[in-house]
Amino acid sequence: MSIFSPNLAVKSVLELSRERLTELGLDALLLDVDCTLKEYRSEDVLPEVRDWIDELRAAGVGLCLVSNGLGKRIGRLAEKLDLPYIAAACKPLPFGLRSAVRKMDFDRTRTAMVGDQLFADILAAHLAGIFSILVEPISPEQEPWFTRAKRPLERGLAGGRGET
- Return the number of the residue (32 or 154) whose C-beta is nearest Mg ion: 32
Residue 114: closest CA among 103, 145, 70, 100 = 100
Binding status of residue 34 toward Mg ion by CB under 5 A: yes
- Return the number of the residue (105 or 141) whose C-beta is nearest Mg ion: 141
Dist CA 61 CA 53 (whole Å): 9
Binding status of residue 116 toward Mg ion by CB under 5 A: yes
Residue 137: cis peptide before it, omega within 30 degrees of 0: no
Binding status of residue 143 toward Mg ion by CB under 5 A: no
Binding status of residue 32 toward Mg ion by CB under 5 A: yes
Residue 81: closest CA among 106, 56, 99 = 56
Residue 68: closest CA among 135, 119, 7, 1 = 119
- Return the number of the residue (69 or 75) whose C-beta is nearest Mg ion: 69
Least gap, CB of 58 to Mg ion (angstroms):
25
Binding status of residue 74 toward Mg ion by CB under 5 A: no
Least gap, CB of 142 to Mg ion (angstroms):
11
CB hemisphere CA count around 86 (13 angstroms) = 22
Binding status of residue 133 toward Mg ion by CB under 5 A: no
Residue selected from 35, 65, 81, 97 as contacting Mg ion according to rule CB under 5 A = 35
Q: Which amino acid is at 75?
A: G
Binding site for Mg ion (CB under 5 A): 32, 34-36, 116
